Amino acid sequence: DTGVSQNPRHKITKRGQNVTFRCDPISEHNRLYWYRQTLGQGPEFLTYFQNEAQLEKSRLLSDRFSAERPKGSFSTLEIQRTEQGDSAMYLCASSLAGRRGGVGEQYFGPGTRLTVT
């Protein structure tokens, strides 16, 4: 178990550029979540996948944001035409959801810190 990994750890970009982040979950986990954390705030939910299906998107996820999990393994989060307000820590988490429901513990990655200049 190598844990959840995220790349890059830091990204500095100019306003208007596109950026893409990657998340590699724990291998047997079927759920993958993206959260955004701004300075002085707790993480806020953006979207989640069960296997390769994107099941929910927050209204925080504007049209400039897109997330994929093509083979039910790693996931990417892309932000197009970045704005200064997109500067934040982007956290990925994964969990194992059982067929009978219940709550699977979410394991978090170290995050990708985005700075838009």
Partner 1 sequence: AQSVTQLDSQVPVFEEAPVELRCNYSSSVSVYLFWYVQYPNQGLQLLLKYLSGSTLVKGINGFEAEFNKSQTSFHLRKPSVHISDTAEYFCAVTPFTGGGNKLTFGTGTQLKVEL
Contact flag: residue 55 with partner 1 (CB under 8 A): yes
CA distances to 15, 21, 53, 57 from 45, in Å: 23, 16, 17, 8
CA distances to 31, 38, 76 from 106, in Å: 9, 20, 18
Contact flag: residue 72 with partner 1 (CB under 8 A): no
Rounded CA Rg of the chain: 14
Contact flag: residue 45 with partner 1 (CB under 8 A): yes
Contact flag: residue 48 with partner 1 (CB under 8 A): yes
User: Which region, judged by CB under 8 A, interacts with partner 1, from 11-19, 36-44, 60-68, 75-83?
Assistant: 36-44
Task: State the minimum distance, in angstroms, from the CB of residue 103 to partner 1.
Answer: 5
Calpha distance 24→32 (Å, rounded): 9
Q: Given the rule CB under 8 A, which residues bind partner 1?
A: 4, 31, 33, 35, 40-45, 48, 50, 55-56, 91, 93, 95, 97, 101, 103-111
